[in-house]
């Protein structure tokens, strides 16, 4: 499942540099990348479960459906976060200096 607790420290930092010289932008990019990898892993797990269900003699319908729902829910959440970040970026770019 996508870990939302990793987003909180990024928001609380402000623009101050982190220990390795990373700024909020770098840290947010790393967090977004981790979220993307988590979603991708859940999608791959769901694909494996589907293959197992189709080829195995043991039909684990519950495990397959749970994996599919986790993958679907995490993808929807990821797309919503991406949409909000895009909207925030566009709003900032529209600001006059």
Question: Over its length of 97 residues, how does the chain's per-residue pLDDT go in tens digits?
Answer: 556 555 555 445 444 555 566 676 777 788 888 999 999 999 999 999 999 999 988 888 999 999 999 999 999 999 999 999 899 989 989 988 7
Say how many C-beta atoms besides its own lie within 10 A of residue 74's C-beta.
20
Break the chain into its structural domains and give their ranges: 4-94
List the Cα angle 77/35/93 in 5-degree steps.
80
């Amino acid at each position: 499942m996508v870990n939302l607790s990793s987003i909180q420290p990024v928001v609380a930092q402000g623009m101050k540099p982190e220990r390795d010289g990373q700024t909020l932008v770098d840290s947010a990019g790393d967090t977004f990348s981790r979220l993307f990898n988590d979603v991708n892993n859940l999608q791959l797990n769901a694909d494996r479960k589907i293959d197992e269900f189709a080829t195995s003699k043991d039909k684990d319908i519950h495990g397959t459906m749970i994996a599919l729902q986790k993958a679907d829910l995490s993808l929807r959440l990821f797309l919503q976060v991406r949409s909000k970040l895009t909207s925030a970026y566009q709003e900032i770019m529209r600001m006059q200096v």
